[in-house]
Amino acid sequence: MTTLEIKENAVVIGGNTIDVGARILDAQANARIVLVLIHPDSYLTDPEYRRKRRAGLAAVRNLRAFSTSGAALWEAEMPEQADYYHKIVSLDPIEVDSFSSFRCRVDSRTGRILSKRFLK
């Protein structure tokens, strides 16, 4: 079991600090990967983000993966343009829930959505 500690904008794992530059909602890790879920409040109140979201432009990708040594691997694809993730459901396989009520299975190597299911 890999232990990690969340410190506001950073995750500490195995003596390595991964600073994501925004408040962290959740983080989970195993021997291969560290998943970091950026808190939506970190960007939802940003006027530029709101302008882009209203225009239907690409949303902030708030699910990021890192190696256990801290190297950035990917930012997860979003189920819809103006959506964001709010919950890590599982790490193996990677499943996350989005604000728009999708449960997405995400490829652990690429961050691409393998499947998505509408929950409502």
Split into its structural domains, the chain has a count of: 1
Q: Which CATH number fits the domain that encloses residue 92?
A: 2.40.10.480
Nearest by Cα to 76 from 68, 2, 84, 91: 84
Q: What domain range includes position 67?
A: 4-118
Does the pTM exceed 0.85? yes
What's the confidence (pLDDT) of residue 38? 93
Could you tell me the end-to-end alpha-carbon distance of the chain, in angstroms, rounded to an integer?
34
Burial of 106 from C-beta contacts in 10 A (0-12 / 13-18 / 19+): buried
What DSSP designation does 90 have?
A: E
Across the beta sheet with 10-13, the strand order is 4-7, 10-13, 16-19
pLDDT tens, residue by residue, 72-115? 999 999 998 778 899 999 999 999 999 999 999 999 999 999 99
pLDDT digits (tens, 9 = 90+) for 30-51: 999 999 999 988 777 777 777 8
